[in-house]
Structures are given as C-alpha cells and as structure tokens.
Amino acid sequence: MAASATVQFMSLRAFWFLPLLLILLESAGGADAAKRKPLTMADVLAASQAADWEALDPENTLYLELASGRVVIELAPNFAPHHVTNVKALAREHYYDGLAIVRAQDNYVVQLADPNAEKPELARKIQHAKRTLPPEFDRAVNPKLPFTRLPDDDVYAPQVGFSGGFPVARDSKSGKMWLIHCYGMVGAGRDAPADSGGGTELYVVIGHAPRHLDRNVTLLGRVVLGIELLSALPRGTGALGFYEKPEQRVTIKAIRVAADLPLTERTDLQVLRTDTPLFRDLIESRRNRREDWFKFQAGHIEICNVPIPVRKGQ
Amino acid sequence: MAASATVQFMSLRAFWFLPLLLILLESAGGADAAKRKPLTMADVLAASQAADWEALDPENTLYLELASGRVVIELAPNFAPHHVTNVKALAREHYYDGLAIVRAQDNYVVQLADPNAEKPELARKIQHAKRTLPPEFDRAVNPKLPFTRLPDDDVYAPQVGFSGGFPVARDSKSGKMWLIHCYGMVGAGRDAPADSGGGTELYVVIGHAPRHLDRNVTLLGRVVLGIELLSALPRGTGALGFYEKPEQRVTIKAIRVAADLPLTERTDLQVLRTDTPLFRDLIESRRNRREDWFKFQAGHIEICNVPIPVRKGQ
C-alpha cells in the first residue's frame, strides 16, 4: 500500500493533486526541490526517508479486537507508565476479553467497560493487575524527552507540541507536561475520586478535542489504525451515550499486546517521527495549505489538527 | 422532554449530579442562589427563562430526511444570504430528493451530492435555482448583528464568539466576520474555483473542527438535531472517504424547508440565545467546570467546545 493511502485526515479534494505533485517533485530533483517551494503534505511525505518513520514497539502496542476488525493502539509509557503497565497486565490476564463497548456519545467518546461492573457477583475478577491506580494526569518535564514545539499558541496550555508521536502540552512554570485529548486519544475512565481509574474502563476520543479533560483523566495511548471501527458506532441513546439495551453493546473479542502475537498475526505499522526536520515541514504544510484548492492560508494550526501519519511497514 | 435531556455535549459522568444540583438550586432560592456560587451548565439551564430561548425560524430551517430519521439544520441567512436562498430554492424544486450521501470521511465531513453529477445525461437538472454562486466566505462586520465575544483567544482568528446561535470569527483590521467550521456546521462543497459551489453539494463537519477550511468554503448553517444520523455513518473506503460502491451510499429521501410542512409535521425546537447574560454564564460554566468530577479547571475554552443547547418547544 502506498504511504499516501494510509495517511489519515487527508483533506478535502487535496488527494487529487497527489499524482501531479509527485511527478513535479521527481522531475525537479526530489528533496532539494522541496526546499525551494512551499510544500504540501504530499510533498513532505514523498520526500520522507526510512529514518523519518518509526515502527511501533510491539511491547507498547495493543490490539483491540472487534467482530468488525482490529483497532491498533500505541501506548504512551513515557506519560502514563503505571497505567500502561497495568493495562498490559489486564490484557495479559484476559481481563478485557468478552467485555463490551458500553457507551458511544456523539462528538465525545466511546468507552469500553465491564457491563457488570456494578454487580459484585457478576463483575469480572482481576487476578494480578490492579483495579485502580494513583492518577498520572501529568508528569515532570524531562529534557531527555523530545519535544517539537508547535509555532502557534494554544487556548488551553502555555506550550503545545509533539513528543514521541503524541500531542503534549507543557508548562514551564509548574515544570509539568501532559498528553492532550485530541481525536483518537485513549484514556482510563474513572469515577469521582482522582485515583479511581486504572485501565479497567478505557475511552477513546471520537469528537472535537475535549480539552477540558486534560489533566483530569489519565491518557495512556492513541489509536493509530482502525478508529473508524469506533467512531462510526451507533450512538447510545441513554444519558452520556450509554447503550440502553445489552444487545446494543459491542463485544470486545480480546485486547492483546502485539508482542504476544506471532509476527504473522501482527499489524506492521510505522508512525512518522515527530522529532525530525521533516515533521516540522509537515506542520508548516498544514499551517499554510499550498494545494490549489485553498484560497486562504490559515497561517496557524491548532495542535489537534496536525496529523501524525501512519503507514504500513515497508 | 426535559431540557437537560436534549442538551448536547453533556460531559463525562457530569449528568449524574444533575438531580442533586437541581434540588440544591431549588432549596437555595433558584436564580439568586445561582449568582452566589460557581455555576455548572445544569445550573445555568435550570435558571433559564423562556426569553433565553428562541424558536427556530421555519423559513430558515431545513429538514434533511433519511430512512433513519430527520436531521434538522438551522440556516444562517446573516452570513450566507445568497447560498441560503439558493439551497431553499433547490429544496423547493426537489433537487435533492433521491440524491445521496456519497462521502463519509472519518474525523472530517459527510457530504451529499448528485452521484451522477459528472455524467451530463444523468445529472440532476436544475429548474429555477442556481448551480453555482459567488462565494460567501466572509462578510463585512455589521454592528447590528449581535456578537458575544469569547473571553479566550483563538488559534486562527483575532476574535471569536457567537452571533445568532452560530460560532463566528471577526477581524477588526479587515472589518470582516465569518462562520467557523465547528462540529455540525454545514457548508456548500465546491471544486477548485472559489465560485464553483452553490449548495448542490452540502457537507457537514463530523470531526475535530477543520478550521483551515474557514474562509475557504461557504458555511450556511448548523445541524441542531440528528447529527448522529450523519456522524455514525460507516466511513467510505475510497479516497477522501467517498463510498466506493453505489449501494453504500445513503439516499436522501428529501430536503424540505420547515415552513413548507404543516405544523404537525415540523420538529418544534428552541435554541438557547447566544446574546444574553445567561449564555455568558453558560460559557463560564464550561471554562471552569464545577462538577465534582473535575479536579482541574481549564480556565479557558476553545470556541468549538462551547455547546449551543437545543431543546424541544415548551
């Protein structure tokens, strides 16, 4: 599959210009030409080298298996190490298998949980993992973690940018950084107490970034493939989008750690690195859209509108 | 139906506190009590009076009729007068009836169009309306139009706020104002030339606000009810989310102007006015969430995260 075909968030009609752009790029000398003219995202990706991409780490990749297919989730151990460890432990003891997506709230989240969580005699038991954990809403800024700062401001945070393929915010005053609730981000649902989550309930953002949740819930990963298996689910008609009838729920066949599957059963994916000059070019190509279709250049970009391209392994 | 049940964008678990809050509010003396303590959105809505709501104008309301139900669209004649007039003319000559949703691109838009638009002999004919119009990407600021400015900045525009129930941006330097591509906004698709749209193809935003489209396409309305009939459609697997097989398309039974239907067949809706002190309270209730669940107050809000509540007529 060509890289362009797996890139998410392709823009209105922009795709049609891709073949022409690739031809122009080739005939003008590839990456050198790219430096001489304003770039489209197609230009940027066409100029990418193998080193601009990074394979998913199978030990930090989850497969959420539904009857409709596989959702691939990249975990974020740099930001929620204890939650990531716990979710993997839950997956490895098959805690999730047979549970269900119990909620799909339009322009907000889908959520998976144990439908019997409130019934002690029926609730799924946990063997080795933990049911709850202290929150990991933010973490201390670590200068060793890469941070590609967005050139634009943000409504919610002093600084925003990307670290290891994830959208993050930073505050130099508090010395904290945290993951951002962009589309496709995965978090650990919780009840009212801050330490009542732990990964037994997971939610995925399927709407406009609910940034008011930042630092209120532990984010632990991002859907990198198959989001449409979640975002196109029928919305629940109960309060908060909960399904009102058990038969409306979508069964979780399994959640697996990719490393536990034989190579032939894994989904071989690469994510564009976010700590490269090429990724800065990509950001610029989205701040000012150079495709012919655009009559007005925004000149800015909001953090959750920056795509993080994913492609199949080469 | 209670007002609270029709409010969109209810937040994670916040709903559970609603009965308790209403009891507290009542016992403490209603609106007076609301002034004395930080408000939740439930508080604000509970304190709303009839004058805080405005019935939809049937002459500027479209019903998009699908087999799955009705999508109600409020038109924006203050911002796209010629497009609104043309879309109503197209609806009244039954141009849309039998056309289809041809595209559903994840985290972006669904789009309706004539599937045979490219085949002259099969393409739907237009009798009295126009096929294309000059763009209405923005308009001159008119001091007579209400503008409730958001207290927060915006990544894309000098000023943002609300006018007549719509999210808008303003630029005092150019003296222009324009509608914003928030979730649920409806626009007139176009080809590469700026004047190639006119309402024969309509798109609806079903993902994170694609603000780079602002001032690049004519927005003409907003979905106020039934967005989930569009946002939960299976995504198209072709480029840009186009459905690859004709049978995947979703047929448009009809688009009607509400005024043309007998009263008994209309959907009686009221939208919260956005030019009132109460709406300012609502904005504040979302900038700083006072529900117990929240541990951290964002202190800001991004324009497309402000809900514009809708309720059934009282």
Model confidence at A257: pLDDT above 90:
yes
**Average pLDDT taken over every residue of chain B:** 90
What pLDDT does residue A72 have?
A: 98
Q: What is the pLDDT of residue B112?
A: 98
Contacting residues of A for B208, CB less than 8 Å apart: 182-183, 207-209, 304-305
Q: Write the DSSP string, B142-160.
A: -TTS--EE-SS--SS-SEE
Q: Is the pLDDT of residue A15 over 70?
A: no
Is there a contact between A9 and B305 if contact means CB atoms under 8 Å apart?
A: no
Stretch 125-184 of chain A: residues touching chain B, C-beta under 8 Å:
137, 152-156, 182-184
What would the pLDDT profile of B11-42 be if each residue is shown by its tens digit? 333 333 333 333 333 334 444 544 557 899 99
The mean pLDDT of B207-221, rounded to a whole number, is 98
Cα distance between residue A156 and residue B257, in whole Å: 40
- Phi-psi category of A98—alpha, beta or left, where left has phi over 0 and alpha has psi -120 to 50? left
User: Which residue matches tokens 């480029």?
Assistant: B239
* Proportion of chain A above pLDDT 90, given as a percent: 88
Is the confidence at residue A17, as pLDDT, over 60? no
Q: Which amino acid is at B231?
A: S
Asked whether the whole model's pTM tops 0.95, one would answer no
For B153-196, what is each residue's pLDDT tens digit?
999 999 999 999 999 999 999 999 999 999 999 999 999 999 99
A152 neighbourhood in chain B, CB within 8 Å: 155
Q: What band does A33 get if pLDDT is binned at 50, 70 and 90? A: very low
Torsion sign over Cα B135, B141, B144, B145: positive
A215 falls in which pLDDT band (50, 70, 90)? very high
pLDDT surpassing 80 at residue A182: yes
Q: How many Cβ contacts (< 8 angstroms) between chains A and B?
A: 167
Residue pLDDT, tens place only, A285-311: 999 999 999 999 999 999 999 999 999
pLDDT at position B34, please? 45
Is the dihedral angle over the CA atoms A16, A19, A22, A23 positive or is it negative? negative
Residue with more model confidence, A10 or A68 = A68
* B34 three-class SS: helix
AA identity, residue A28 = A
pLDDT at A20 over 60: no
Residues A115-143 have pLDDT tens digits of 999 999 999 999 999 999 999 999 999 99
A10 touching B, CB under 8 A?
Answer: yes
Q: What is the pLDDT of residue A13?
A: 34
Helix (H, G, I), strand (E, B) or coil at B85: helix
Q: Is the model's pLDDT at B73 over the cut of 70? A: yes
pLDDT, tens digit, for every residue of B272-285? 999 999 999 999 99
Q: For residues B284 and B40, what is the distance between their CA atoms, to the nearest angstrom?
A: 9
- Rounded distance between C-alpha atoms, residue B139 and residue B158, angstroms: 15
B231 pLDDT exceeds 80? yes
Q: Taking CB atoms and an 8 Å cutoff, what residues of chain A touch B193?
A: none
| Separation CA B109–CA B106 (nearest Å) | 7
pLDDT band at B314 (very low <50, low <70, confident <90, very high): confident
What's residue A53's pLDDT?
98
What's the average model confidence in pLDDT over A242-265?
A: 98
Whether the Cβ atoms of residue A111 and residue A134 lie closer than 8 Å to each other: no
Q: Please name which of B280, B299, B301 lies closest in space to residue B288, comparing C-alpha atoms.
A: B299
Judged by a CB distance cut-off of 8 A, whether residue A195 touches chain B is: no
pLDDT value at residue A314: 84
Average pLDDT of chain A is 90
The ipTM (two decimal places) reads 0.89
